[in-house]
Amino acid sequence: MQLTLIALVENKPGVLNRVASLFRRRNFNIESLNVGRTEKADISRMTIVLENGNVDARKVEANLYKLVNVIDVQDVTNQPAVTRDLALIKVSATSEQRAEIANLASIFRARIVDVAPDSVIVEITGTEDKIEGLVELLSPLGILEMVRTGQVAMMRGSASGVRYAPGANGSKDLEKVTN
């Protein structure tokens, strides 16, 4: 099982380092960690996927709140959330094999974004499972390189993820903070 959390953090230098350092110190295993800009210039958003060997989401949340720059944490594991990962997969392909790859790609709604004499790059976006599925089928052809962004997640509709201790950060006025 994996845990997926969303953290809103102040967009300041070194914040990623603080989060990574905290996870290392507390012995939390990061599966993937994605950081990017949000609709607000001064706030960045992290999607953190952890192996939940020895941790639960409540503990991760409580520790994240120890960091001064962390504004909000939500646990979206098993919640109605959209999660996506993007992968670029370079597969060795002779001209005869291209059609087969194109076929597979279209089943997965993936795209071929580069064609070279002896390889192609397939781009796929989707859930972890979907990407794993395509990787499995492409493997026999010979995967030369692969890069993945790690998951990003967003709750559907107006729902939010689980906040275990909103009190952890006092009576934080989220509206005020994030608007």
Partner 1 sequence: MTKKTGAEILWECLVREGVEVVFGLPGGAIMPVYDAMLYYPIHHVLVRHEQGAAHMADGYARASGKVGVAMATSGPGATNLVTGIATAMMDSSPIVCITGQVHAHLIGGDAFQETDVTGITLPITKHNFLVTRAEEVADVVREAFYIARSGRPGPVLIDICKNAQVEEVEYSYPEEVSLPGYLPPTHAPMEDLKRAAELIEQSERPVILAGHGVMMSDAMEALSVFATKTQTPVAMTLLGLGSFPASDPLNLGMMGMHGEAYCNLAIQNADLLLAFGMRFDDRVTANLRTYAPRARKIHIEIDPSEVHKNVEVDVPLVGDLNTVLTDLIPLVDEYDHEEWRSEIEEWRGESQARDIMTWPDDGKLYTAHAIRDLWEVTNGEAIITTGVGQHQMWAAQYYHFEKPNRMITSGGAGTMGFGLPATIGAWFAKPDEEVWLVDGDGSFQMTQAELSTAMQEGANIKIAIMNNRFLGMVRQWQEFFFESRYSGTPLSCPDFVMIAEAHGIPARKVTEPGEVLPAIEFARQTDGPVVIEFQVEKEEAVYPMVPTGADLDKMIRRPIRNEPTAAD
Among the listed residues 21, 38, 127, 139, the single contact to partner 1 using CB under 8 A? 21
Q: Which is nearer to partner 1, 18 or 148 (CB)?
A: 18
* Nearest residue (CB) to partner 1, 42 versus 132: 42
Cα gap 32→149, rounded to integer Å? 8
Token reading at 40: 């607000």
Beta carbon nearer to partner 1, 43 or 104: 43
Exactly one of 10, 16, 137, 149 binds partner 1 (CB under 8 A); that residue is 10
Sign of torsion, CA 42 152 80 26?
A: negative
Tokens of 174: 């989220």
Task: Tell me how far the alpha carbon of residue 41 is from its chain's centroid.
Answer: 20
Show the CA angle centred on residue 133, arms to residues 45 and 84, nearest 5°: 15
Q: Does 62 bind partner 1 (CB under 8 A)?
A: yes
Assess 105 for contact with partner 1 (CB under 8 A): no
Unique residue bearing structure tokens 């709604």: 109
Q: Between 25 and 156, name the residue whose CB sits nearer to partner 1.
A: 25
Site string for partner 1, 30-59 (x = CB under 8 A): ----------------------------xx
Taking the C-alpha atoms of residue 126 and residue 109, their distance in angstroms, rounded to an integer, is 9
Beta bridge partners of 48: 5, 33
169 binds partner 1 (CB under 8 A): yes
Among the residue ranges 64-72, 79-87, 137-145, 150-158, the one whose residues contact partner 1 (CB under 8 A): 64-72
Element at 130 (helix H, strand E): helix 128-138
Kindly list the residues in this chain that would bind partner 1 in the complex (CB under 8 A): 9-10, 13-14, 17-18, 21-22, 25, 58-59, 61-63, 65-71, 165, 167-172, 177
